[in-house]
Amino acid sequence: MSAYLYPNLKSKKAFREAIAQGRTITAMENTPAGSVLVRGTTTVTFEGPHHPEPHRFYGKAQVTDGKVTKVI
């Protein structure tokens, strides 16, 4: 499954900079039943920016205790 990262930033570089600044980034996984907040420690595949804009980038992110700690 894919995920969206929040807040909705416009590039992977912007996500990396936000994490370096200490901003909280969360991931919502898209499922057939709706969006679910990613909790625990895992790796997610994400796309952005969010709908209705066309997706222009894809990547992977490490989630630790429900917060994105690294964009791979």
pLDDT in tens, the chain (72 residues): 689 999 999 999 999 999 999 999 999 998 888 889 999 999 999 999 998 899 999 999 999 999 999 999
* 13 contacts: CB under 8 Å, gap ≥ 6: none
Tokens 């796309």: give the residue.
47
Distances (CA, A) of 7 to 44, 55, 61: 16, 15, 14
* pTM of the entire predicted model: 0.89
The total of structural domains in the chain comes to: 1
User: What is the residue range of 41's domain?
Assistant: 2-71
Kindly tell me the sign of the dihedral angle through the C-alpha atoms of 32, 37, 40, 46.
positive
